[in-house]
Chain A
Amino acid sequence: MKATPLSNCERRFLLRAIEERKRLDGRQCYDYRNVRISFGADYGCCIVELGKTRVLAQVSCELVPPKPNRPTEGILFFNLELSPMAAPGFEPGRQSELLVKLNRLIERCLRNSKCIDTESLCVVAGEKVWQIRLDLHLLNHDGNIIDAASIAGIVALCHFRRPDVSVQGEEVTVYTPEERDPVPLSIHHMPICVSFAFFQQGTYLLVDPSEREECVMDGLLVIAMNKHREICTIQSSGGIMLVKDQVLRCSKITAVKVAEITELIQKALENDQKVRKEGGKFGFAESIPNQKITAFKMESAAVDTNNVEEQAEEIITKADPPSEVFAKPILHTPGTAQIGEGIENSWGDLEESEREEAAEEEGESEATAFECQKMETEDTSTTRETKKHEPIVLSDSEEEEVVILEPPALPRKTRTQTNSKQETASKKAFNKRRKKKRAAY
């Protein structure tokens, strides 16, 4: 499958948003998305979610003869795979540039930093050593695979337990998990990658780019650091020129982020340890069900509402004050709120009377969301229709009848139908087309 191309509109919009220091999901420039770590039933299996990006890591081990030039060291093997379910552009079996780059980065980060003590993996010098294999699978691509993969890798390695081994002379006994508790790997430190995306020739900087931001970025800087503020790996790609103090600033930011993430990892590992000890249920079967698609849950993302105040003020001053206020059936007693389920048709009679009132009813009557009293405002800005404000009669076919009531003290929230002409025109056109389309079926 081919990936969807990025349109000029999106590119322009994203760059403009970045210039105004706004990100699509409301984060700040230096904010990370939520990191969630969940462990599987086996030791060494974990899933890390960075926002919507998901990586699955699995560690396994086996006894093999060592490399001839390093008879006393164990072997580490890292493998990252971009599965086609991660993004439509990924195809199986294709060795893309991105894949190679990611693999190299993960390897350098974990191998060259010597975070794992390979000498401890030696069983019999020259004959048998442990080969640790870390497999990373990308399950969902929403930007910043590197960070997620590095976190997943290090967490899986910390979580992993290898079978205990004892050597007596020439005899090597490998104990099964039932006989002796498996032994964790000896890990010196936890290197974590942090990515920085640069835009406009290095003028703007974002931490943890999402997929859209990655498409429009100029360059990427990845710094792998551990919590002792030692830089393990640093890589800059994309060919941007970076000034020295930018790099230093990035490394300071990395230090902060790495400290946070390391803490999170420790906590997650401890939790898992506790659960296993207490014999509670662990594994994916526990942690994953909340995320089923049919559960229809989404993380509540804070919607940034800054600037809305001024706009609201503007709108209010522009609109005419409500001309008439019907003291008529105020359809609620102040203070009661009836929301939704099961309360149908209690407003049945009132609805009808309102409908009669609303004489000029067009296809898209703007039933307001906020009901105060029944107000009739004449909008001078739109000459086409006088919009009546009915109290909400929300008869969406899929939703139950919902009437939201608010205290009457809201006359200043006038409905200004300052909708642009295009919007209602296009809406009208849509509705017409919609009807046409329905007829066509």
Chain B
Amino acid sequence: PGLRRCAAGLLVTKCGLLRHRRAGGGTAAGGAYWVDSQQKRYVPVKGDHVIGIVTAKAGDVFKLDVGGSEQASLSYLAFEGATKRNRPNVQVGDLIYGQFLVANKDMEPEMVCIDSSGRSSGMGIIGQDGFLFKVSLGLIRKLLAPKCEIIQELSQLYPFELVLGMNGRIWVKAKTVQQTLIIVNILEACEYMTAEQRKQALAKLSGN
């Protein structure tokens, strides 16, 4: 992402920090290079997990809006335990968490809600309550980093459920509306706050 192969060398196509990860012990692939760039508009990438909103049901296929230029399609059989008789209960306007099976610039992207072994592993229809909002892609990647303190700090405040989509969408659910709103505001503000401001804000909140 952000880099592109061109004949013998690599071309940088986006602005940002160049990052490198050394190859782990057992993996065959070498170290990976990529460019961390900041943007808000999402482009579907194969294998990304995203939150989509169902816009239409067309026979066997749902059309989802994922924030890209095209709507993604999702077959009703792509859920765990779904058969022709046993259809998943999906309405227009529902939120779905899935991953991209096919996503290139020539075709309409396709999504599925099961992984390669046929288990759903957390994907599928997202529950009814809770709130969805949009942030920039850089913030999502930061939140998904293995040791993200934002989430750890927030979990000190009160329990909540969180689904992060790589398309910039976050779904949050906490016990009360008030708490959900607080979390939403903090996450949105995390983009601009430095670590210390965040701690001050959280200290204020939990000290109350």
Chain A, 403-441, contact with B by CB distance < 8 Å: what is the 0/1 string? 010100000010101111011011101110111011111
Chain B, 49-65, contact with A by CB distance < 8 Å: what is the 0/1 string? 10001010000000001
Chain A residues, CB < 8 A from B180: 13
Interface size classification for chain A: 35 or more
Are B147 and A4 in contact, with the CB atoms below 8 A?
no
Chain B, 119-130, contact with A by CB distance < 8 Å: what is the 0/1 string? 001100010111
Are B152 and A312 in contact, with the CB atoms below 8 A?
no
Looking at the complex, which one of B93, B128, B164 makes contact with A430 (CB distance below 8 Å)?
B164
- From A399, which residue of chain B is reached at the shortest CB distance? B195
Least Cβ–Cβ distance between A316 and chain B, in angstroms: 10
| Contacts A5-B65, A419-B155 given; does A20 touch B177 at CB 8 Å | yes
Looking at the complex, which one of A6, A296, A370, A425 makes contact with B156 (CB distance below 8 Å)?
A370
Are B181 and A26 in contact, with the CB atoms below 8 A?
yes
Binds B, one of A67-75, A147-155, A189-197, A360-368: A360-368
Tell me if B12 is interfacial: C-beta within 8 Å of chain A. Answer: no
Chain B residues, CB < 8 A from A396: 142, 145, 147-149, 195
Are B126 and A365 in contact, with the CB atoms below 8 A?
no
Least Cβ–Cβ distance between A433 and chain B, in angstroms: 6
Chain B residues, CB < 8 A from A311: 158, 175, 179
Are A426 and B185 in contact, with the CB atoms below 8 A?
no
- From B134, which residue of chain A is reached at the shortest CB distance? A4
Are A303 and B195 in contact, with the CB atoms below 8 A?
no
A residues sitting closer than 8 Å to B (CB atoms) are: 1-2, 4-13, 16-17, 20, 22, 24-26, 296-298, 301, 303-309, 311-312, 315, 339-340, 363-370, 392, 394-400, 402, 404, 406, 413, 415, 417-420, 422-423, 425-427, 429-431, 433-435, 437-441
Q: 10 A-B pairs, CB-CB below 8 angstroms? A: A9-B93, A9-B130, A22-B181, A301-B185, A309-B208, A396-B148, A422-B161, A430-B144, A431-B144, A439-B27
Given contacts A10-B131, A304-B182, A305-B182, 15 further A-B pairs with CB under 8 A are: A4-B53, A9-B130, A9-B171, A13-B130, A20-B178, A22-B181, A26-B181, A297-B192, A303-B201, A304-B181, A308-B206, A369-B156, A395-B147, A419-B155, A427-B151
B residues sitting closer than 8 Å to A (CB atoms) are: 1, 21, 24, 27, 29, 32, 34, 47-49, 53, 55, 65, 67, 69, 91, 93-95, 121-122, 126, 128-132, 142, 144-149, 151-153, 155-164, 171, 175-182, 184-186, 189, 191-196, 199, 201-206, 208
